[in-house]
A = this chain, B = another copy of it.
């Protein structure tokens, strides 16, 4: 019998639990959450079977907010010395750095980031198909055991994800511009809109605004953590972006810039 301990029963961890159960990766899933209501919700939605680690887990999935991941991985490594550990956080270097600063990075810990943001959150939003066709970036370090990386990557593939490996620093630099900066921009856009009342905005916005600003409805606790943890990289990209916010005098030059940007966006075909 294979047992998973889920630490943090929100959208991402909860979805992994549902997907892993459906695919038969684990027979039993125990859950821990500092939020008693979330844990109760997770039980009633069939995300976890029981609270706490009632039996020794084979694997521990750390799905807490970013700023708690390192301490949680450290504690779980101590309590469950034979378990495979992995996290699902959006920022990777600070976790590894904090573990090193605190002593050592366990060879049994595989840092993971499933790129499956949603403006929804909590165990009731969890879905077994959340990872189907989506990307998971795995960021092992020198200390990480290669076989354990293979096992955890296999679990992600089993729940439908495409797995890529990347060093933690490189991951954080890329995600700062593809995910974290867009979130900061969307939040900031909602802030500057305070000049207008809701009725005026509803009468004047279209599909472009709707899609662009969707991520401004993301969880503030999760995102204040992520932005804090990856602050330097996000602000460095923000500076580069701000330098591009010119509107060229030469309209043909502007058109060419926009054409190049469009070509890149279309080629990505995401």
Which A residues are within 8 Å of any B CB, using their own CB? 115-118, 134-135, 137, 162, 164, 166, 171, 174-175, 177-179, 181-196, 198, 200-221, 223-225, 227-228, 231, 234-235, 237-238, 240-242, 244-245, 247, 251-252, 254-262, 264-268, 270
Contacts and interface: CB of A to CB of B under 8 A. Distances in A.
Contacts of A117: 206-208
Contact of A192 (B183, B184, B202, B244): B244
A127 to B, nearest CB: 13
Contacts of A211: 211-212, 214-215
B215 A212 contact: yes
A228 B215 contact: no
A41 to B, nearest CB: 20
A268 B207 contact: no
B204 A174 contact: yes
B116 A262 contact: no
A90 to B, nearest CB: 10
Contacts of A213: 182, 265
